[in-house]
């Protein structure tokens, strides 16, 4: 996807980018490829950054408008997807980028300085650890390509404010979403909508699950990571 096509496709979802934002995305792309040449952050090639990372991150807007909220937490953000892209395009948002891999967090810190961004916080560590001091604190919690829906729900919903949203950016497998329904209810959430679509110029299916945090999450969740993975909530 070249830049013109990118701008076009993004407009179709209702987002018009300013020159400053386009410039920032350009810098982001260059810095990512340069950093990637010595530190392996992501498997992607140049021509795919705009489609697979930037465009895909912005499809978030199909489910929810971030400008209506103040804080967003991106769990397992990797090289900043979708959190950093959303920060650039919705600059008023206070974004927290969390990853257990420190080289990714370091990349994001450098990028934030390069782009002169403010209101960006970082956490190097696991989502379950972060939850100890940050329970039910964020208006929006999101994650893309981190783990299956049941595990993800236990990592993300305890961090979501009551009245806020957990937005899961998933691939085409709807079965794992159905399987997670009980976990979602148990942890205080309710599926409000599932937005299903294909990425343009390839047949790659996507599902964005929009979950409203209706009630507070019982204190015993999240459990320790080994438990979360070994005995997923039924």
Q: Which stretch binds ligand SAH (CB under 6 A): 1-9, 98-106, 192-200, 214-222?
A: 98-106
Number of residues near ligand SAH (by CB under 6 A):
16
Kindly state the smallest distance separating residue 19's Cβ from ligand SAH, in Å.
26
Kindly state the smallest distance separating residue 124's Cβ from ligand SAH, in Å.
9
Residues 105-134 that bind ligand SAH (CB under 6 A): 126-127
- 5 lies in the binding site for ligand SAH (CB under 6 A): no
Q: In residues, how long is the chain?
A: 234
Query: Which residue number, 76 or 163, has a Cβ lying nearer to ligand SAH?
Result: 76
- 181 lies in the binding site for ligand SAH (CB under 6 A): no
Considering only 24, 61, 86, 104, the residue that binds ligand SAH (CB under 6 A) is 104
Q: Which stretch binds ligand SAH (CB under 6 A): 14-22, 29-37, 70-78, 87-95?
A: 70-78
Site string for ligand SAH, 189-228 (x = CB under 6 A): ----------------------------------------
Q: Helix axis angle, 127-134 relative to 149-156, nearest 10°?
A: 30
Assigned token pair, 17: 């980018």
Q: Omega before 82 cis (within 30°)?
A: yes
- 170 lies in the binding site for ligand SAH (CB under 6 A): no
- 153 lies in the binding site for ligand SAH (CB under 6 A): no
- 145 lies in the binding site for ligand SAH (CB under 6 A): yes
Q: What residues make contact with ligand SAH under the rule CB under 6 A?
A: 75-78, 81, 98-101, 104, 126-127, 144-146, 155
């Amino acid at each position: 996807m070249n830049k013109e096509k990118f701008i076009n496709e993004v407009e179709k979802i209702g987002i018009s980018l300013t020159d400053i934002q386009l410039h920032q995305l350009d810098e982001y792309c260059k810095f990512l490829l340069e950093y990637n040449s010595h530190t392996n952050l992501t498997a992607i090639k140049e021509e795919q950054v705009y489609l697979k990372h930037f465009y895909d991150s912005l499809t978030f807007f199909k489910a929810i408008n971030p400008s209506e909220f103040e804080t967003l937490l991106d769990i397992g953000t990797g090289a900043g997807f979708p959190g950093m892209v959303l920060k650039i395009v919705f600059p008023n948002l206070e974004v927290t980028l969390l990853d257990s891999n420190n080289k990714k967090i370091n990349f994001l810190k450098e990028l934030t300085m390069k782009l002169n961004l403010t209101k960006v916080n970082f956490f190097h560590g696991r989502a379950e650890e972060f939850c100890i001091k940050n329970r039910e604190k964020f208006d929006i919690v999101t994650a893309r390509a981190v783990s299956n829906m049941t595990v993800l729900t236990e990592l993300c919903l305890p961090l979501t404010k009551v009245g806020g949203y957990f937005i899961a950016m998933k691939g085409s497998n709807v079965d794992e979403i159905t399987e997670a329904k009980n976990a979602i209810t148990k942890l205080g959430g309710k599926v409000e909508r599932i937005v299903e679509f294909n990425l343009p110029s390839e047949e790659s299916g996507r599902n964005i699950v929009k979950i409203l945090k209706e009630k507070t999450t019982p204190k015993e969740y999240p459990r320790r990571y080994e438990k979360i993975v070994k005995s997923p909530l039924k």
